[in-house]
A and B are shown apart, each in its own frame.
Chain A
Amino acid sequence: MRVARKQRRRLKRDHVVAFLMVLPSLIAIAVFVYGFIGYTAYVSMSNYTTARVDLSFAGLEHYITLLSQRRFQDNIRNLLVFTALFLSACLVFGLLLALLVDSRVKGESFFRSVYLFPMALSFIVTGVAWRWLFTPGDLEPTGLNLLFDQLGLKFLEGRWIADTTIWPNVEVSWLKTRLLVPLAIVPVVVAAVWQMSGFCMAMYLAALRGIPEELREAARVDGASEFQVFRYIVLPLLRPITLSAIIVLTHISLKTFDLVMTMTGGGPGNRTELPSLYMYELRFSQFNTAEAAAVATILLLVVSVLVVPYLRYNRRAQEVGE
């Protein structure tokens, strides 16, 4: 009786100690994540538009300015196009790589390592390499164009990161931006897919390895073709990992900054500029802190719409699992 009570008291004390041990991290996150986000949102509604600090209230003025501005509309268009292309290419390419690596080939680990190695690189390194590959050359071809030239594949040549075309260049009355795809963004997507598709492959590989062979075997015994096995057995079982991959890749895509900075700097003529770059320019070149904060807040809201439901879903799934 006595021992039990003593032990219980001890356990209670230990729980307090445990809480105290995470407290520094909790405070850090409370301040650096939530406090800072709150402050940014506050600044975005202030008159802090020059180097002089002015936190007087301006309401939603900067949001209205931004949303009705050609440049910011271009940013949003670029972001959506970039994300759509990047995400779909990564998923398809990642799944393809996973299926190839998973097809009982010799040297499996070699292929897997090669397909995954760009993940270990900085986006800046990737950007430097791909920028030179996608520099078309003014008088004489350079980079990929030169390679295509030498291989007799001239028809593949393009203007790449120097391309100012917007395809199909549709005007919409209530928008200032032109739709839809700025062609200069395609090379940036290629570089991003080069870097990230291995990650997607790794996720799919982990999932494929988790599918019991008996399941496939049973379907084969029932007379299913290899394609049917894939379509009706494997693919449905890959759905949860695809959801995770979509969330992770999309949030990375929405946050993209380094790669564009190095490959194009946002050019030509803002055709590859993303909100993350515009925010940087507003804050650190134009010293328009309030508008920069508004861009950042919009970007955060876009990411949150995606991530918050996922985190909640993930938590529920975990509670059910426990």
Chain B
Amino acid sequence: MAGASLSRPRLRLRLSRALLYAVMIALVAFFVLPVYLLVITSFKDFSEVSLNRMWDWPTQLSLESFNRAWNGGQGTTGMRSSFLNSVLMVIPATVISCLLGSLNGYVLSKWKFPGSETLFTLILFGMFIPYQSILVPLVQVLSALGLYGTLQGLALTHIVYGIPITTLIFRNYYASVPSELVEASQIDGAGFFRVYRHIILPLSAPGFVVAAIWQFTSIWNEFLFGLIITNEPRIRPVTVTLQNMSGSQFTQWNVQMAGALIVALPTLLVYIFLGRYFLRGLLAGSLKG
């Protein structure tokens, strides 16, 4: 008999567990809501798109909004060329800033010299500044170099301002490589580059994944530099094109939403498949590695 009915404390425990799940699921709804709206709107047929039926399900799936967002039309430029621009800019910027970060991290953790700690702190400061405080000379210098309004100029900017975070990620990562390993190799006569190639680099894969994912995500999502440096629609990155779409009366809101999904897709895929590393990069940004 005793097993048939739940005892009071167990009932209370069950109820509080149920409440816990209810709260957590309500929070899921809050986090998913904006994306839900983006998705149901983007897949609607143009004839079904109206603001007062915003929350209705599409009666038939249509890719019209994506088509318009991607290819443009009716006085609007599409995402297609911007998407390519972003890819062409993000890849070299990510690779180069990670290589620089790895080299800096190696030196600043295993080849410390007098003042190297101070220099490291001075480098770190670069990731906290509001970029407004460097925009004026940045435009002038890029113009003088003939890089203003080019994807190379934008990539260069991302590389330079990516140095602090990649240096931080790699320095913290290499700090966990035992110094005895490096010293033993030095006693065997290995120099700076041999230690790097044979000891450090083979251990670096996770560090590179974390730094590359971090850089890819932040550069892909970045807006201010893209807005300032690319003065022509032809070379704009995706975020700037999306912002332009959302500010123009010519672009229907369903097309804006499809555009938003297109912009979100690459970084979301990275998040879904490599979320663990994304999280590590995120936590590295709080300096505690």
Contacts and interface: CB of A to CB of B under 8 A. Distances in A.
Interface of A: 7, 10-11, 13-15, 17-19, 21-22, 24-26, 28-29, 32-37, 39-40, 43, 97, 100, 103, 105, 111, 113-133, 137, 140-143, 146-147, 150, 194, 198-199, 202-203, 206, 241, 244-245, 248, 251, 254-255, 257-258, 261-262, 265, 275-276, 279-280, 283-284, 289, 292-293, 295-297, 299-300, 303, 307-308, 311-312, 314-315, 319
B223 A21 contact: no
Given A33-B129, A123-B221, A17 B192 contact: yes
Contacts of A124: 221, 223, 239, 242-243, 246, 260, 263
B223 A123 contact: yes
Interface of B: 20-21, 23-24, 27-28, 30-35, 37-38, 51-52, 54-55, 100, 103-104, 106-108, 111, 113, 117, 119, 121-126, 128-138, 141, 160-161, 163-164, 167, 186-187, 189, 191-193, 217, 220-224, 228, 239, 242-243, 246-247, 253, 256-257, 259-260, 263-264, 267-268, 270-271, 275, 278-279, 282-283, 285-288
Contacts of B161: 32
A50 to B, nearest CB: 14
25 contacts: A10-B191, A15-B111, A18-B107, A18-B111, A19-B107, A37-B129, A40-B137, A100-B27, A119-B271, A124-B246, A125-B242, A125-B260, A128-B246, A128-B257, A128-B259, A129-B37, A131-B246, A132-B54, A142-B54, A241-B288, A276-B130, A292-B136, A299-B130, A300-B133, A311-B124
Contacts of B257: 128-129, 132
Given A150-B55, A248-B285, A296-B136, 11 more contacts: A21-B107, A28-B163, A114-B31, A115-B27, A117-B271, A133-B33, A133-B37, A142-B52, A254-B130, A293-B136, A311-B124
A15 B111 CA distance: 7
Contact of B52 (A22, A43, A140): A140
Nearest to B30: A194
Contacts of A296: 130, 132-133, 135-136
Contacts of A300: 129-130, 132-133
A314 B172 CA distance: 13
Closest 5 CB pairs of A and B: A122-B221, A18-B111, A129-B34, A120-B271, A36-B134
Nearest to A110: B28
A140 B51 contact: yes
A289 B51 contact: no
Contact of B111 (A14, A36, A303): A14
- A contact patch SS: helix
A29 B122 contact: yes
Given A29-B164, A114-B31, A117-B31, A303 B103 contact: no
Q: Which of A7, A39, A121, A122 has the most CB of B within 10 A?
A: A122
Contacts of B121: 311-312, 315
B24 A111 contact: yes
B137 A35 contact: yes
Instruction: Point out which of B31, B104, B259 has the most chain A C-beta atoms below 10 A from its C-beta.
Output: B31
A174 B224 CA distance: 34
Nearest to A259: B223
A262 B268 contact: no
Nearest to A263: B246
Contact of A129 (B224, B260, B279): B260
A133 B221 CA distance: 21
Contacts of B117: 315, 319
A266 to B, nearest CB: 12
Contacts of B221: 121-125
Contacts of B28: 111, 114-115
